[in-house]
Structures are given as C-alpha cells and as structure tokens.
C-alpha cells in the first residue's frame, strides 16, 4: 500500500484510482493524492477498508500491475540490450511532477519532470537530483485592487510523497559537508517515479546554523548569495550524495547551468577513486557531461560577483579540488585574465561538458550566438550547441475524454514505445469523435472550475470577503486559454492592446467567446505584476463581465485542467525569447489548437494545417511598433479565421474546418512534441555516445596510455606555433588539385585537420579536407585534395582545426587557424 502511494507513477497512470477511492472517497475526490489519502485516513477507517475483500482484491491487482510495469521489457532494454549506459544522473533546480510535491516554478521544472516520467516509460535508466524546498515557489492571492500577494505555505515533508533516505541501520541518512566555517549537514529524501528515482536535498537539519537551514526554504527567492548557496547544495551536495549512495552514472545531464558545480564534484570523486590529479579527472568527467541550456538572453544566465565566489568557494576549491581560487574563477569566465568578470554558471557548464544543446531549433541558433564569444573565430554555425526540442509527457496532460479516444485507436501502452503509426491512427478518426471529445473536455474544464472557483477566487481582506468575479462560463463558447509566467517578454497583455476591439469580439452574442487566464509574476517583477492588475481590472468591466476570468494561483493542477479543456491556446512572446515553451504542447493531445508567435517550439511546429501563427519570423526586440503590428494581426486572425472556423457548423452541428485542424494537429504534432520523443532523442544522440566516450576515457587513464590529457595540452601549448604557408587553389579547368603547405610547429600533425572552407550554399556546408602528401624540409608538410570544389574557387579559404579520436571539438579544443 505504502509502496503504491509513494510511487508517483500514479500521477499519470490511473489504474489504482479505484483503490484509493475505496479507501476514502471524500478525501480522494478532494485531493486526488494517494499519499494523503493513505496517511490522513483515520486508522480505524483504514483498517475497516482494508478488511474489505473488494479493497483487498484491488490492492492485490494494483501491486501485480506495478510489478508487471517495473519488469516489462521497455524500449531501452529492447533496443539497447548491450548498452554501456548504466545510469544517467539528471540535475535540475526544480521538478514539476505533481501538485502533491510543489517544488517547481514553471517551465524548467516541467521539462525536468516530464522527461523523468518519459524515461521511466521508456526504461532509460535515470536518477535525478533536486532540492526539497520547505516553501517551494510562492503561491498567489489577488486582492480587490488587483494586486498579487505572495504567500509561502509550508511543505510538511510528512505530507509529501517522499521518504527520508535511510542508512542500512534504518537511521536517517545525513551528508556531512566541510566548509570554511565548519561542518554542515544535508538531509536526503527520495521520491519514486515509476522506474526512476529522484533524490532531494535540504539543509533544514536542526544541527545547522539558521543561515544554513534557510538555504532550501524557497525556490527562486532571496539574493545572489542565497542562489549560489543553493547551487552549491544542488551540484556539490547532489553529486556527493549519489557517490556515497553508490551510484556511478556515466552521464551527468545538467538541466540548465544552475547545477554546473556537479561536474566539479564529479571530477573530484573520480580523482579520489583513481588517485589522479583533479585536472585529469576533469577531462574524464567531461566526456560524460551534457549541458542543456534554456536561456535565450544573456541576462538569463546565473552570474556571480567574483567576491561572492571567493568567499563561498575558496575552501572547496583549494582544500577539496586542489585548485587555486583564481583558476576556479577562470572556469566561469570568458576571459580568465579579467579579474572583474563575473562568474557565469553557463560558462562553467560549457567548460565541463562534451555536448551542449538548446531546447528548440530556433533556440539552438540563439544559443550559438550567445555562446559564440567562447569560440573566437569559429563560424557561428559551428559553435557547438545543437538542439533537442522539448516535449511534454502526454499521459500527464491528457483529459479523460482524450485518453479514452487515444486508447480506442492506439491501445494502452501507446506512449511507451516509438510512437510509430500513432499519427495515422489519428488520421482515421472521424470528425464526430473528435468533436465529441473536444466538447466533453471543454465541459470537464467548466465543471472543474465551477467547483473550485469559490475557494480559489476569494480572499478575506480589511473590507471582509472579496471575490474575483466568478464567470458564467458557457459550454458552447469558443474557450481561449492563456496561462504562464507573467513576464514582460511573454506579452500577456498583447491581446489587450486595443481593448475595445477585443470587447467587440467578446460581446458578439452569436459567436460566444470566453477567455480563461492565469499566471504569476515573480514577486520582484513589478511590470509583470502590473500586467496582472490590468487583466484583473479588465475582467471586471461591466460590459463583458463573466466572459473573461483571471484565475488566481496558477499551478500544475490548474494547468492540467486548462490545457485539457480549452479550444485555443494563446501564446504571444517576443521572438526569440521563448526558448521552447511547453504549455502549448500540452493542448495537442487534447485536441486544443495553438495560436502563437513563431517562437520556440511553434517556430518549427507551425504549418497552416495545424493552427495559426503570429509574427513575421524575425526578431524585433522590444519595439513597440512591432507589438502594435502583432496585436493587429492577432485580432485579424481571431476575427477572420479562428472565430469563423469555430462557428461555421454543418447540419450535424460540427465545425468541419476546425475538426480538420484538430485532426492534423493531433496526428502530426502530438508524437513529435512529446517527452517520449525528446528522451529517445537525448538517449540516442547524447547519452549512448557520451557514455562510450566516458568509459573509454575512464579506461584509458587506468592503463595510462598516451591520453587525451597530454594531447590537449600539446594543442593548447603549441597552437600558436602552427603556420600556414602557400595555399594554391588552381582553376577548375586546369585539372590540377588544390594544395597547401603547413608547418605544424610543436604539434603532432596527426592532431590537425587541414580543410578548405567556404560559406555554405543553401545551408549545405562546404568543407573539404586535405590529406597529407609529403613531408618537406624544415618540418613543412604538403597537403592536397582531389575533391571537386563546389561553387567558386575564390569562395574558399584554408583553415586548420584540431582533430582527435574521442576529443570533443571545438568544446574541448576551441582552436582554429585561418589562412586569412
């Protein structure tokens, strides 16, 4: 029983729901939380329920299903039975697994948790590490003036579906960490997510001084110092925890730069295990480290003043890593010599990884420009940041009606394999089934809201009870959803640009439209909070009252209801600041359609058959004139396309154009923008090859063969001694081959890749390698190629870059020499 209630598999697999209902129907209905249901039911009631033969049978069946689920052959075990990958360690500041474990703020936690769940479905071995925040992220209340109030209810660990990590003797496990000011203690907790495990650390150990105990109180609260301390606990404490518990993952996956200290602690553990210098262990650790960046603007990077790093990390760096603090600081700097430069966690992550990716195709591009300064003279497109577009864990976000429909066409285990054929199955669905599912899902949302609106929307203030207007939502209205963080770049007020034009739309009785909104603004973000106020005031306009509702306290549970029920999901960020965005993906499985700026995932997902797009696909910064253009376009799309398609019905009452879009959006986009696809892509593109590389390096060092360490030293030290002599690119008609003369200086020529390079034509790279033909006098070497050059010969120039088996170029060796 306890095992079932503590396995967060229940957040997406509802097979045991009947069991919990039979134990305490009221509590279950209210919380939908098995752990609360189990632990809050009075002992006598529980005993009575458990003696019931039906309940007994349900327990037995649920346990059997769990056993089957854990033992079944998975995508990973089937496809990679001999894999060298035994475990991936996944680090993230936040995880949005369930309302039952509120240790998240938004998108980043969503990505982390959905991937963890998909890894469990697919059998990819992942152990995750995060922090247990006593208060999580703030909760929101709206005052009668329309201002946001931040509340911090306490997460009592006893009510969370987690358990303390225990020692073999059954004692609470505590991790001791030496600091300059003495020993501090970290407590460790464990959450089970199907096959995956999530460890959570907190500092609230009674024997710690108060300043230490507060480190893990709030997520994204406090100042830079608190953030640094949290990141130290997550990275250093987190890796050490895994190590002490016996985990030896080949892969360390850093979900955003926050966790980058983990890479250093990992190297320290390797140095200790193999008895080698830290600098060598760093190179081994690096082979198995993947960094996923989520930021689209430089201001999004975590930056720490050098003084702060010195005061908090000198002890760790010098005593633990054996690294002078100035060298430590250099790891987070663009220019190691610049002692004023702040310490950039993303740079540390870059310098600790053998692979880096952004979270959508567009964000990959943006990230290459952000990180270009680390790779001077490299063409931007070769800056080593690729992309894996995010996806959402479909079973977490689907409605009951959508789940039924998908089960009918594709069976129960449909999200556990490769998703092949799912699109075709959807294309066979008739309009009637799709439309019925949509209407049932919309009604489900309105039903859920009508139940919880009274408590969600009301506050008791100086003037007594006050409630946000409770709308009269209609089951037949086009229901538009907009919910996300209220940050300026997301332009939550774009649709309010011309209020009267929006009001005209809302007042049309023949084509009823309603808008459901929610979102929090960071307590320090005054502009974001002003936008909330603007919306709350708008909702109270007499002429449209009841048609627009702002729901207080956006959270995962509300997000689930909204994405299941709405017809249209609206997203209006300023391109290219939405790195990926995930909320729009959540409506796909439910047959909701997207109207969004061409940014993040929508920039690659949009075609006219699946929804609507705003913007011209270019960047306009914060230009108010473009906001105006975008707003006009938004109204035009709503007036001329969205509403007509939704309200144009045939004799059966079905909007055929709309259902056609639903079908295409579900068929084409749901599989592609699922966490299932994302995790398979991470596994095949990164986890598997990096784990090979990691094992090789770990091994190489053991037999102390001439290794990457010496060779990268050689490249570093010798690069400036490299010379390019004469380069000859004869006319194509001459029948002669291009050739060149190189002096490798102190570098072994085997480590050099001599190439003719031209700017790509239509995205197609034009890089032609030259091979070594003859060693000449004084160390000069002749190179040649007989490959035909594409395009004009004058496009080409010679360049040399490092090359070496197993070396990550240019991440580990950002050297490049150009002829001109």
Binding site for ligand PLP (CB under 6 A): 106-107, 110, 484-485, 554-556, 559, 581-583
Residues 757 and 729: beta-carbon distance below 8 Å: no
Count CB-CB contacts under 10 A for residue 98. 25
> Strands (DSSP E) along 137-276, which ranges?
139-142, 148-151, 163-164, 174-179, 182-193, 196-202, 251-255
Shortest Å, Cβ 106 to ligand PLP: 3
Residues 709 and 284: beta-carbon distance below 8 Å: no
Q: Which residue number, 291 or 397, has a Cβ lying nearer to ligand PLP?
A: 397
Q: How far apart are CA 158 and CA 150, in angstroms?
A: 24
Shortest Å, Cβ 198 to ligand PLP: 18
Shortest Å, Cβ 394 to ligand PLP: 13
Shortest Å, Cβ 564 to ligand PLP: 12
Distances (CA, A) of 63 to 13, 15, 71, 545: 13, 11, 12, 50
Shortest Å, Cβ 391 to ligand PLP: 12
Q: Which residue number, 320 or 490, has a Cβ lying nearer to ligand PLP?
A: 490
Structure tokens at 719: 């690069």
State the burial class of residue 266 (Cβ atoms within 10 Å of its Cβ: 0-12, 13-18, 19+): buried
Residues 274 and 701: beta-carbon distance below 8 Å: yes
Q: How far apart are CA 526 and CA 531, in angstroms?
A: 9
Shortest Å, Cβ 701 to ligand PLP: 42
Contacts of 112 (CB under 8 A, 6+ apart): 90, 92, 94, 95, 96, 128, 130, 255
Q: Which residue number, 28 or 554, has a Cβ lying nearer to ligand PLP?
A: 554
Q: How far apart are CA 246 and CA 53, in angstroms?
A: 42
Q: Which residue number, 484 or 522, has a Cβ lying nearer to ligand PLP?
A: 484
Q: How far apart are CA 601 and CA 615, in angstroms?
A: 14
Q: How far apart are CA 220 and CA 180, in angstroms?
A: 25
∠728-734-737 over CA atoms, to 5°?
45
∠185-5-27 over CA atoms, to 5°?
110
Q: Which residue number, 457 or 582, has a Cβ lying nearer to ligand PLP?
A: 582
Q: Which residue number, 368 or 485, has a Cβ lying nearer to ligand PLP?
A: 485
Shortest Å, Cβ 425 to ligand PLP: 26
Q: Which residue number, 359 or 688, has a Cβ lying nearer to ligand PLP?
A: 359
Shortest Å, Cβ 98 to ligand PLP: 11
Q: Which residue number, 485 or 574, has a Cβ lying nearer to ligand PLP?
A: 485
- Taking the alpha carbons at both ends of the chain, their separation in whole angstroms is 71
Phi/psi of residue 811, each to 5°?
-55, -50
- Indicate the DSSP class of residue 762: T
Q: Which residue number, 359 or 754, has a Cβ lying nearer to ligand PLP?
A: 359
Beta-strand relationship, 797-802 and 752-761: antiparallel
Q: Which residue number, 99 or 327, has a Cβ lying nearer to ligand PLP?
A: 99
Shortest Å, Cβ 484 to ligand PLP: 4
Closest Cα partner for 812 from 744, 754, 751?
A: 751
Shortest Å, Cβ 363 to ligand PLP: 12
Shortest Å, Cβ 108 to ligand PLP: 9
Q: Which residue number, 102 or 591, has a Cβ lying nearer to ligand PLP?
A: 102
> Within 13 Å of residue 728, how many CA atoms lie on the same side as its CB?
13
Residues 662 and 593: beta-carbon distance below 8 Å: yes
Q: How far apart are CA 132 and CA 205, in angstroms?
A: 12
Q: Which residue number, 177 or 402, has a Cβ lying nearer to ligand PLP?
A: 402
Shortest Å, Cβ 566 to ligand PLP: 13
């Amino acid at each position: 029983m306890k095992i079932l209630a503590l396995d967060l598999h229940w957040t997406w697999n509802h097979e045991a729901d009947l069991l919990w209902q039979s134990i305490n129907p009221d509590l279950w209905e209210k919380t939908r939380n098995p752990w609360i249901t189990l632990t809050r039911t009075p002992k006598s009631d529980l005993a009575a329920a458990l003696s019931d033969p039906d309940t007994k049978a349900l327990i037995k069946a649920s346990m059997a299903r769990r056993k089957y689920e854990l033992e079944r052959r998975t995508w990973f075990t089937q496809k990679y039975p001999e894999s060298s990958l035994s475990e991936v360690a996944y680090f993230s500041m936040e995880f949005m697994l369930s309302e039952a474990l509120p240790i998240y703020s938004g998108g980043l936690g969503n990505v982390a948790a959905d991937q963890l769940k998909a890894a469990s479905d697919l059998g990819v071995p992942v152990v995750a590490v995060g922090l247990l925040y006593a208060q999580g992220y703030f909760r929101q209340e709206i005052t009668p003036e329309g201002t946001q109030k931040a509340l911090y209810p306490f997460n009592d660990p006893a009510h969370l579906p987690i358990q303390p990590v225990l020692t073999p003797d059954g004692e609470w496990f505590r991790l001791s960490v030496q600091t300059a000011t003495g020993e501090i203690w970290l407590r460790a907790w464990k959450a089970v997510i199907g096959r995956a495990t999530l460890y959570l650390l907190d500092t609230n150990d009674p024997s710690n001084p108060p300043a230490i105990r507060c480190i893990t109180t709030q997520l994204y609260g406090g100042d830079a110092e608190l953030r640094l301390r949290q990141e130290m606990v997550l990275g250093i404490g987190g890796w050490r925890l895994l190590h002490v518990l016996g985990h030896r993952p080949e892969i360390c996956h850093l979900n955003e730069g926050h966790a980058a200290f983990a890479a250093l602690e990992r190297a320290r553990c390797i140095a200790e295990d193999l008895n080698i210098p830290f600098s060598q262990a760093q190179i081994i650790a690096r082979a198995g480290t993947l960094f996923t960046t989520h930021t689209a603007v430089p201001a999004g990077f975590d930056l720490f003043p050098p003084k702060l790093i010195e005061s908090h990390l000198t002890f760790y760096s010098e005593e633990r890593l054996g690294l002078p603090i100035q060298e430590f600081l250099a790891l987070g700097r663009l220019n190691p010599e610049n002692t004023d430069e702040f310490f950039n966690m993303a740079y540390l992550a870059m310098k600790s990884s053998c692979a880096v990716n952004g979270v959508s195709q567009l964000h990959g591009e943006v990230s290459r420009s952000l990180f270009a300064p680390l790779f001077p003279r490299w063409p931007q497109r070769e800056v080593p940041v690729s992309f894996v577009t995010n996806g959402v864990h479909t079973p977490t976000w689907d409605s009951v009606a959508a789940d039924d429909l998908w089960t009918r066409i594709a069976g129960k285990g449909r999200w556990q394999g490769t998703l092949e054929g799912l699109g075709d199955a959807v294309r066979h669905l008739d309009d009637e089934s799709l439309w019925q599912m949509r209407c049932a899902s919309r009604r489900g949302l309105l039903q859920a809201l009508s139940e919880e609106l009274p408590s969600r929307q009301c506050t008791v203030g100086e003037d007594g009870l006050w409630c946000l207007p409770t709308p009269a939502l209609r089951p037949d209205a086009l229901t538009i959803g907009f919910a996300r963080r209220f940050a300026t770049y997301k332009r939550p007020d774009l649709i309010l640009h011309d209020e009267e034009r929006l009001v005209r739309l809302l007042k049309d009785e023949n084509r009823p439209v309603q808008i459901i909104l929610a979102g929090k603004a960071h307590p320090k973000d005054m502009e974001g909070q002003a936008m909330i106020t603007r919306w709350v005031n708008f909702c109270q306009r007499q002429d449209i009252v009841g048609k627009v509702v702002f729901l207080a306290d956006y959270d995962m549970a509300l997000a689930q209801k909204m994405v299941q029920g709405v017809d249209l999901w609206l997203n209006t960020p300023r391109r290219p600041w939405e790195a990926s965005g995930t909320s729009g993906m959540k409506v796909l499985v439910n047959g909701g359609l997207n109207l969004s700026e061409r940014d993040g995932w929508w920039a690659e997902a949009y075609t006219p058959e699946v929804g609507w797009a705003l913007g011209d696909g270019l960047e306009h910064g914060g230009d108010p004139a473009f906001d105006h253009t975008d707003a006009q376009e938004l109204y035009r799309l709503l007036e001329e396309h969205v509403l007509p398609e939704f309200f144009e019905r045939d004799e059966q009452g079905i909007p055929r154009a709309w259902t056609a879009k639903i079908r295409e959006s579900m068929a084409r986009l749901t599989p592609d923008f699922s966490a299932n696809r994302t995790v398979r892509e991470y596994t095949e593109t990164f986890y598997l090859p990096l784990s090979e590389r990691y094992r090789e390096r770990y091994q190489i060092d053991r037999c102390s063969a001439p290794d990457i360490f010496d060779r990268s030293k050689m490249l570093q030290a010798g690069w400036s001694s490299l010379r390019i002599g004469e380069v000859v690119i004869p006319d194509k008609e001459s029948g002669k081959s291009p050739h060149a003369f190189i002096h490798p200086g102190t570098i072994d020529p085997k480590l050099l890749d001599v190439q003719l390079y031209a700017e790509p034509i239509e995205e197609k790279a034009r890089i032609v390698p030259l091979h070594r033909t003859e060693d000449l006098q004084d160390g000069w070497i002749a190179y040649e190629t007989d490959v035909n050059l594409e395009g004009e010969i004058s496009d080409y120039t010679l360049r040399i870059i490092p090359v070496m088996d197993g070396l990550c170029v240019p991440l580990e060796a950002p050297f490049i020499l150009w002829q001109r």
